[in-house]
Structure 1
Amino acid sequence: MNKITQFFWFCSGAHTGTLKRFPTEQNKYVGIGATIFFTALFASLSGGYAMYFVFSGSPFAVVFAILFGILWGLAIFNMDRYIVSSINKSGSTNRQVLQATPRIILAIMIGVVISRPLELKLFDKEIRQKLKSSYLNSQRSKIDTLNKTFARKYTLELEKIAGLKAEQDSLIKEIKDSRFVLNQEIFGDKTNQTSGQTGFGTYAKQKESVLKQKEERLAFVRAELQKMDDFINNRKDFDGLSSQRMFSGKQLDSLSNVAGFADRNWALGQLSFKEDGTRDLDTYLAISFIGFLFILFECLPVFVKLMSNRGPYDIALQNVEDSVIHGSYKDRDYDISVTDGIYETRVDTEIDKQKQIIRGKSAKELQGYPWD
């Protein structure tokens, strides 16, 4: 327990030597250090999960995720530790709040960055379902667009095919009716279209001739229709329309599994809206509260440091800092005085040397001497 306590003191950025002298302050910094540590742990998991989806499909995705998760967690840990330890409790409340404001803003930004990948994991099933619907609608829209473009491109050919199909249906009906009337004529059934004479007579031959003409026309229409169908099918293959199919269930599962971070992030945002475009309040609040929870968790060490009263540890730490600063000033003044004394000694020595040189020179030699 002693090692764990000292580890959390280290996480809080406290001066261990000073903190050991004040038992009443120790639990507070254990709590602050534990909060910073677990925030860094969540950041590590969040960053690793996000990086895993960035390199999804790569055989080194897990390795990259672990390395980035560790680096990201250490970066957040170092930043949080600095933010908390840099708040000075010796100033007034307003000064402390002003000092902590940029750190709180930074903590909020870190909380948002940490929470997003974890939200993606928490709503993984809903995100997959939303992605499947999106992919299916996108494929349907793509096929509809291709069909409309193809219809505009081959309008005349498609209209000709429609006309041939209508004529074919009409001929099939007429041939059926003509064959029935021919049978009535042969068997001598008296109607408004038959003579009532039994046998294959003149009227029967006329009706058979008409029937053959219609059958020949039907054969021609079918041949033309087959040619046009083959042309249109070839054009569909050439334009890529024939290869477009609606996704199956397995294909949708595969696509949702390999979806990137951007697609999953978009799907998470779309969960807050219903099919008609109105906001789904329950889902929106659930996602928002998770984000707020991580933001609060990230800001908690700063809030604890601000809300805590100035204790004996803070006073002792301030005294230690003042002593160090005062000692550094004394050392600087001592170094300056020593340096000035050495400089003055050197100047006096040089003056004495110049005096000796001048005494040994004549008046004529001293006229060109560098007096400066």
Structure 2
Amino acid sequence: MKKVTRFFWFCSGAHIDTLKKYPIEHNKYVGIGATIFFTALFASLSGGYAMYFVFNGDAFAVGFAILFGLLWGTAIFNMDRYIVSSINKEGSTNQQILQASPRILLAIMIGVVISRPLELKIFDKEIRQKLKTSYLKGQRSKIDTLEKTYNQKYAMELGKNTDLKKEKDSLEKDINRSRFQLNQEVFGDKTNQTSGITGYGTYAKQKQTVLQEKEARLKTVTDNLGQMDEYLSHRKDYEGLNSTRLFNDHQLDSLSNVAGFSDRNWALGQLSYNANGTRDLDTYMAISFIGYLFILFECLPVFVKLMSPKGPYDTALAKIAEANIYMAGKEKDRDITVTDNTYDHNLDTDIQRRKKIITSQSDYDFERHSYD
């Protein structure tokens, strides 16, 4: 337990040697350190999960996820540790809040970042279903677009194909009617379309000729229609209309499994809305409160440090800081004094040197005067 306590003290950013002297402060900094540690742990899991989806399908996806998770968790740990340890309890309440406000904003941003990947995992089943619906809707829209483009591009050929089908249907009905009338003429049935004379006579031959002409036209129309259908079928293959089909259940499962972080994040946002575009309050509140929980968890160490009263540890730490400042000032003054003494010594040395030069010059001038 001593090792665990010291570890959480380290996580809180406390000065351990000073904190040991004040047992009343021990539990507070254990709680702060534990909060920072578990925040970093959740950040590590969140970052690793996000990176796993970035490299999903890669052979090294798990390795990349573990490495990034450790790096991300370490970065969040150091940042939280600095945020908490840098709050000065010596100032007034307003000064402390003003000092902590940028750190609180940073903590909120960190909470949002680390909560999103975990929300993706929590709502994984609902996200997969939303992605399947989206992929199916997108495929249907793609097919509709291809059909619309195909109909516009080959409108003339499609119109001609429709006319040929109508003519073929009309000819088939007409041929059946003409063949029935021919039989009536041959068997001598008296109607307004037949002579009533039994046998293959003149009227029967005329009806036979008309029937053959219609059958010949039907054959021509059928051949043209077959050629047109074949041409349009090739055009559908060329435009990709024949090869584009709606996804089956197996394909939808595969697509949802390999969906990237961006698609899953979009699907999570869409869970808050119903099919008619109205907000689904229950899902929205569930997703929002998970995010708020992580934001609060991230801000909790800062709030605990702000709300806690000034204790003996804070007073001792302030005195240590003042002593360090004082010693630094004394050291600076000593350096200045040493510098000044060095300057004075150098100045005296320079004066002595100049005096020697002047004396030497005077002696020289005196000797030269005596010689003259």
Q: Same fold (TM over 0.5)?
A: yes
Displacement of 1:22: 1.0
Aligned match of 1:87: 87
How far the C-alpha of 1:304 sits from its partner, in A, is 0.5
Residue 321 (structure 1) aligned with residue 321 (structure 2): yes
Deviations 1:34-89 (A, max 9, x none): 11111111111111111111112221111111111111111110000000000001
Aligned to 2:263: 263
Cα distance between partner residues in 1 of 2:132 and 2:301: 41
User: Could you tell me which amino acid in structure 2 is paired with residue 253 of structure 1?
Assistant: D
Write the distance in 2 (CA, Å) between the matches of 1:246 and 1:318. 71
Structure 2 match to 1:369: none
Q: Does 1:340 align with 2:336?
A: no
Q: Which residue of 2 aligns with 1:25?
A: 25
Q: CA deviation at 1:365?
A: 5.4
The Cα offsets for residues 322-346 of structure 1, whole Å up to 9 and x where unpaired, read as 1111111112222222232233223
- Please state if 1:226 is matched with 2:226: yes
Change (3 A) 1:164 1:322: same
Q: After superposition, give the CA deviation of every residue in 1:70-121 in whole Å (9 maximum; x if it has no partner).
A: 1111111000000000000111000000000000000001111111111111
Structure 1 SS opposite 2:18? helix
Number of aligned residues = 366
Deviations 1:135-177 (A, max 9, x none): 1111111111111111111111110000011111111222222
The answer to which of 254-263 and 6-15 deviates more is: 254-263
Q: Which runs of 5+ in 1 are unaligned?
A: 367-372
Structure 1 segments (4+ residues) deviating >6 Å? none
> Is 1:178 matched up with 2:178?
yes
1:167 — aligned with what? 167
Distance in 1 (alpha carbons) for counterparts of 2:28 and 2:176? 98
Answer yes or no: is 1:357 the counterpart of 2:357: yes
> Which residue of structure 2 aligns with residue 236 of structure 1?
236
Residue ranges of structure 2 left out of the alignment (5+ in a row)? 367-372
The 3-state SS of whatever aligns with 2:362 is coil
- Looking at structure 2, the residues matched to 364 and 229 of structure 1 have their Cα atoms a distance apart, in angstroms, of 128
Q: Bigger CA drift: 250-259 or 194-203?
A: 194-203
Partners of 1:308 and 1:169 in 2: how far apart?
Answer: 92
Deviates more, 1:239-248 or 1:144-153: 239-248
Report the 3-state secondary structure (helix = DSSP H, G, I; strand = E; otherwise coil) of the residue aligned with 1:362.
helix
Which has the higher mean CA deviation after the structures are superposed, 202-211 or 55-64? 202-211
**Which residue does 1:149 correspond to in 2?**
149
What code does the residue aligned with 1:293 have? Answer: L
Structure 1 residue 306 displacement after superposition:
0.5
- Name the % identity: 69
Matched, 1:130 2:165: no
AA matched with 2:141: S
For 2:47, the equivalent position in structure 1 comes to: 47
2:369 alignment counterpart: none
- Structure 2 residue aligned with 1:217: 217
Structure 2 distance, partners of 1:223, 1:257, is 49
Instruction: Report what 1:251 is aligned to.
Output: 251
What is aligned with 1:3? 3
Residue equivalent to 1:34: 34
The Cα shift of 1:364 comes to 6.7
Cα distance in 2 between the residues matched to 1:183 and 1:300: 100
Question: Which amino acid is the alignment partner of residue 211 of structure 1?
Answer: L
Q: Which amino acid aligns with 2:59?
A: P
Q: Give RMSD over aligned pairs.
A: 1.7
Distance 1:192 1:363 in 2: 167
1:301 alignment counterpart: 301
**Which amino acid in 2 is paired with 1:5?**
T
2:15 alignment partner in structure 1: 15
